[in-house]
Amino acid sequence: KYEKLWLAGALLLIVGFIATVSYGAVGAGVEMIDNDGGQVDPDSLDQHPKFGEPGTYASEDGDYDVYVVAQQFAFVPGTEEPVRVPANSEVTFHVTSRDVIHGYEIVGTNANTMAIPGQVATMTVEFNEAGEYGLLCNEYCGSAHHAMEGKIVVV
């Protein structure tokens, strides 16, 4: 009869695990919808139509695209100027790096990707409420890695 008890315990663990995962997916009011990628020449980012002028762009279908260049030791935009996006829209981040591999993590959420030179990481998120979100580099990228951070302002 102990088998049944053991089974119930295992089931409880599984349910708990699924609940944790679901909670993480909507943590802090951010919903991650998609994760995809592309390519870009890291040596001519300044000539790129979007990465040449990184920031938030409104798209034709009413959504938003944010182009972010990560570099030692800042996100552009994000570190000196916050990323600004509206709440309750689909926001697709396009993240690349100018130099070495960086991380791009929206603190307290599961929105997290790598910034790799030559590659464009994209992730679509929806911010369900206005507020401020921290940005963090979570890949070791050099002496000031620990200080590489930024901010997203959702209005």
Q: Which residues bind ligand CUA (CB under 6 A)?
A: 73, 102, 137, 139-141, 145, 148
Considering the complex, state which of residue 70 and residue 127 has its C-beta at the smaller distance from ligand CUA.
70
Q: Which residues contact 122 (CB under 8 A, 6 or more apart)?
A: 34, 35, 36, 37, 38, 92, 93, 94, 95, 113
- Minimum gap (Å) between residue 145 Cβ and ligand CUA: 3
Considering the complex, state which of residue 50 and residue 145 has its C-beta at the smaller distance from ligand CUA.
145
- Minimum gap (Å) between residue 98 Cβ and ligand CUA: 11
Considering the complex, state which of residue 77 and residue 126 has its C-beta at the smaller distance from ligand CUA.
77
> 68-98: string of b/e by CB count within 10 Å (b at 16+)?
bbbbbbbbbbbbeebbebeeeebbbbbbbbb
- Minimum gap (Å) between residue 75 Cβ and ligand CUA: 8
The first and second tokens of residue 100, run together, are 């070495």
Q: What is the DSSP letter of 117?
A: B
- Minimum gap (Å) between residue 117 Cβ and ligand CUA: 12
Considering the complex, state which of residue 103 and residue 126 has its C-beta at the smaller distance from ligand CUA.
103
